[in-house]
Structure 1
Amino acid sequence: MENYVKGKNLEEPLDISKVPISNLPQDVLWMQIRGGTKMTNVLAHVMKQFENKTDIACLWTGFGPSVGKTISCAEIMKKEFKHELHQVTKICYRLVEEYWDPVLPELQQLVVKRKLPMIHIYLSNKPLDIRELG
């Protein structure tokens, strides 16, 4: 790989319509966790959003190395709301293409396609469909 330098990354765009959880409400709070996301900041935002509300609906999403952080955020939220929440968890993959540009002109550009694990955790205080897997 010494003859190549890392180029751009193309990630499959995140869209709420592609989340594999059925019957998501339109006003769901969608928290997308990345590697650099500070847990205290996102948890403070979520707690502030649901401070005086009776309807709680939050979707936590993370992929790659941030899957563990996503799970931790959802578990802390469940602890804060004293187990009043119902949960649906789905695991899928996200496609990422890495481009490697050649240093030597006689070489061709390389494209590496990777599937990164992705998790979606939906938490709601309303009972969810028990036929929903996950």
Structure 2
Amino acid sequence: MENYRKAGVVEQPCPCPFPDLPADTPEVRVRDGSKIRNLMKFALSRMEGKAIVFTGMGPSVAKAITCVEILKRRIRGLHQFTRLLYRTVQETWEPLEPAAGLDSLTVSRNVPGIWVLLSRELLDCSQPGYQAPGSFDALYLPSSSSE
């Protein structure tokens, strides 16, 4: 690929995997360069409603999961639906020297993505990807004093 340069990237739109979600449900699009504190500030200000959706594609999937877990600790009793899917990305590569006889290339990649719906209301527990509100009390170890 040292004889090519990237000419363009076209990302195919990814439809929301939660079909019966109200249109006014806030969506937090997590990007690789997003700061977690800014994402959390936005999410907490929008969580006054009943639900919120976090999305992350490619390298931002881990950051989206981190944000979801932080929000679940700050606001107790949230129900969760998780959907994993792929978005198709087409990259166009042009040759650096057209006279060398090289053709343009189009590369299609499937980039993994995650959509997480957090809701204060009970969701359909029979659907795959559902996670009930949990207790975080077991996660905190009692402090022991060592002398």
User: TM-score of the superposition, structure 2-length normalised?
Assistant: 0.81
Runs of 4+ in 1 over 6 A off after TM superposition: none
The aligned counterpart of 2:116 is 121
1:116 maps to a residue whose letter is V
Task: Indicate the structure whose relative CO is greater, using CA pairs within 8 Å and at least 6 residues apart.
Answer: 1
1:79 maps to a residue whose letter is R
Alpha-carbon displacement from aligned partner over 1:56-90 (angstroms, at most 9, x marks no partner): 200000010000000000110100002x1000000
Which residue among 72, 79, 82 is the counterpart of 2:73? 79
Contact 2:29 2:54 in 1 (8 A): yes
Which residue among 93, 97, 101 is the counterpart of 1:100? 93
Counterpart-to-counterpart distance in 1, 2:45 and 2:96:
50
Contact 2:46 2:52 in 1 (8 A): no
Counterpart-to-counterpart distance in 2, 1:89 and 1:29:
16
Specify the SS of the correspondent of 2:113: strand
Deviation at 1:108, TM superposition (A): 0.8
Specify the SS of the correspondent of 1:111: strand
Specify the SS of the correspondent of 2:2: coil
Identity %: 39
Counterpart-to-counterpart distance in 1, 2:113 and 2:43:
21
Deviation at 1:96, TM superposition (A): 0.4
Paired residue total: 127
Specify the SS of the correspondent of 2:125: coil
Deviation at 1:36, TM superposition (A): 1.0
The aligned counterpart of 2:18 is 21
Specify the SS of the correspondent of 1:66: helix
The aligned counterpart of 1:9 is 9
C-alpha root-mean-square deviation of aligned residues, in Å?
1.3
Q: Does residue 58 of the first structure (1) align with residue 52 of the second (2)?
A: yes
User: Which structure 1 residue ranges, 5 or more long, are not aligned?
Assistant: none
The aligned counterpart of 1:88 is 81
Specify the SS of the correspondent of 1:117: strand
Counterpart-to-counterpart distance in 1, 2:97 and 2:44:
53
Alpha-carbon displacement from aligned partner over 1:17-49 (angstroms, at most 9, x marks no partner): x22223212221111111111110110111122
